[in-house]
Amino acid sequence: MEEEKKVEEVVSEDNSKNESQESKVSEQIEEGILGEAKESSSNGNDEKKVVVDVKKLNAFISSFKKEIEDRDKKINELKDISVRLAADFENYRKRVQKEKVEYTKFANKDLILDILPIMDNFDRAIETIERANLDGTAKEIFTGVKLIYKELESVLLKHGVEKFNTEGKVFDPNIDEVIEFSEVEIDEGEEGDFVDKEFLKPYKMHDQVIRHGKVKVVRKKKKDVKSDSENESSST
């Protein structure tokens, strides 16, 4: 903003100078013409001198016009610089604001990553205990543990953190990492790579994956009808 103000002051000052010089030149022109007219009437027929003075006057006017054009060019250049500076500053302001927002969103990322292994242990423990037949006090304790786990999930969700449930879905390399792979033939259904089992659940924070899952992927493909018919004919 200070640069724009300085440029405006320079432009205003140049305009004032131009107006002042134009006024002075007008006075000089009037004085020159009147003076030459008086000199011509007092000296008789001195028309040749009057013609020479007019040429000088035209040359002076041309020079002054050139000076005005140069000043106008400089003013336009300063205006262009002012516009570019304003655009650069606006882009800088937006970039800083965006970086500030991103920093605020992910300020707790390292802390969250330290908490995720604890959530993994909760997942494993709950999955194991649910397969056992608990009753009495043990069942009540387990219910309390699950409530604590749910509260932790709520706290994470409050900070934009949640896990993906990718088991049984189409494999996405942007979310999961394959640590086991197999192929199966199917009679019907959708072909493709599917997550068969999650060994480690993936998590995202806001719109960014902060931890990839570790999964087993199964590639499903239709049976080759031709090979089946060939097997049947060979068996007969």
Q: Is 80 exceeded by the pLDDT of residue 87?
A: yes
> Would you state the structure tokens that stand for residue 18, as one six-digit string?
């131009």
Torsion angles phi and psi, residue 186, rounded to 5: -125, 150
Q: Mean pLDDT, to the nearest integer, of 122-145?
A: 86
161 vs 224, which has greater pLDDT?
Answer: 161
Q: CA 112 to CA 106: how far, in whole Å?
A: 10
> Would you state the structure tokens that stand for residue 114, as one six-digit string?
């330290």
User: What's the chain's Rg over C-alpha atoms?
Assistant: 43
Q: CA 233 to CA 236: how far, in whole Å?
A: 5
pLDDT of residue 232: 57
**Residue linked to tokens 């990322």:** 109
101 vs 33, which has greater pLDDT?
Answer: 101
Nearby residues of 212 by Cβ (< 8 Å), 6 or more positions away: 175, 176, 177, 202
Residue 91 pLDDT level (bands cut at 50, 70, 90): very high
Residue 204 C-alpha from the chain's centroid: 20
- Residues of the chain above pLDDT 90, percent: 46
pTM: 0.57
41 vs 77, which has greater pLDDT?
Answer: 77
pLDDT of residue 217: 96
